[in-house]
Amino acid sequence: MLTLVGTYPDDDAGIISGNAEIVDGILVIGGKHIDISAGTPAMVAAAVSTCSVLDIDLPYCVLAGDTGQGNGSISLYKYLKDDIFSLHPDVITLHYITPLIEGMVDFGFALEDSGQNPKLIADAGAMYGAKISGLGHIFDLFTPDKGELAFLADVEAVHPMFVNENLYDFAGDRMPELIPNASQNGLCPDTMLVKGSTDYITRSGNIIQKVDSPNIPAMEAVGGTGDTLTGIVSALVFQEETLEKACCMAAKINRLAGLYSNIKPDSSILSLIEMIPEALMTVMEGLEGMDGIEGMDIE
C-alpha cells in the first residue's frame, strides 16, 4: 500500500481517508471532493495519475484540513502514532504538515513498535519536522527544493526563518555545494531528490545523477510542480523501483509533463498532471531493453 499523508486547505481538521481517485478534474477521497491545487492535493493527484498508468493500487490517503492553525496537523500526528501501521503500508509519504517535534518523535516510536519497515519519504513541512526532531535518518528519501535544501544544510537552524543568511538566498548553481552539507550533518536520509532548474539525485552527499532536460523555466513559476514530482516518485517507489531509478524517472516524467502541457506561468497544476500518463509512457518506452537507468538520456 502507498500511503500519502498531509494537510489541504480547509477549515475542517477532521481526518479523511481512503483510496484517492480523480473524477472530472477533482480529487475524491473518502467521499470528500478536493480541488487540485498546489500542495498535498497536487502531490496526491500526481501519484494517482502515475499509479493508474502503472496499473498498481491507487494511493491510500490520510488527509486533514488545515488553514495554518495547526489543528489538522495535530490530527494527522495522532493518526501517525495510533493508526498508520494498522494499514501495513509499503510506502509512506509525509507531506504538508506542521513540523512538530513531539509528533514526529511519536511517529518514530510507533514505527519501531510496529516492527514494520515501510519506505519513508518526506517533503515540505514533514521534512522540516524530521530534521528538527533528529529523525531524518530513519527516512529513505527527502525531496527538497532550493530553499528547503538551505534549511537542511544549516545544522544550527531549528526553523526555516532562522537559516543562516548566507544560505537563505543563494544562486541555483550553489546547490551542489550545499548538498554535502545537508547529508553530512546526520539529519537527512542517505538519498535525496533535490528539485530545481536542475534536479539532482544524491547519495551520501554525492551527486549520482542529474536531470536538466527538457528545460522549462515556466515550471519554476507554477505552484505545485515540486509537489507533483514528489507524488510521481512515491508511486514509482511503491512499484518497487530502486530509489535512484525512481528519482531519475520521476524527474524526467515531471519535466515531460510540463512540456506536453505547454505549461505557462499562469497555468494550473492540473494541466501538468493530466499529461503525466503520456510522459510516463514516453519514459517507460525509452527504458525498454535498457539495463537500469544508465542508458536513459536524463541530462
Phi, psi of 155 (to 5 degrees): -65, -25
Residue 157, domain member (yes or no): yes
Residue 178, domain member (yes or no): yes
How far from the centroid of its chain's Cα atoms is residue 34's Cα?
19
Residue 296, domain member (yes or no): no
Q: What is the pLDDT along the chain (299 residues), one digit of tens a residue?
A: 999 999 999 988 899 999 999 999 999 999 999 999 999 999 999 999 999 999 999 999 999 999 888 899 999 999 999 999 999 999 999 999 999 999 999 999 999 999 999 999 999 999 999 988 999 999 999 999 888 888 787 766 555 544 444 444 555 567 788 888 777 767 789 999 999 989 999 999 899 999 999 999 999 889 999 999 999 999 999 999 899 999 999 999 999 999 999 999 999 999 999 999 999 999 998 875 444 444 444 44
Which domain does 119 fall in, by range? 2-287
Peptide bond into 217 cis (omega under 30): no
Q: In the numeric block, which cell numbers belong to residue 235? A: 508511486
**Which CA distances in Å does 137 have to 54, 149, 174, 234?**
30, 15, 24, 18
Q: In the numeric block, which cell numbers belong to residue 151? A: 534549511
**Closest C-alpha among 42, 44, 51, 52 to residue 5:** 44
**How many folded domains does the chain comprise?**
1
Q: What's this model's pTM, rounded to 2 decimal places? A: 0.91
If DSSP codes are grouped into helix, strand and coil, which group holds residue 120? strand
Residue 198, domain member (yes or no): yes
pLDDT of residue 171: 52
Residue 299, domain member (yes or no): no
Residue 121, domain member (yes or no): yes
Residue 188, domain member (yes or no): yes
Residue 274, domain member (yes or no): yes
166: CATH? 3.40.1190.20
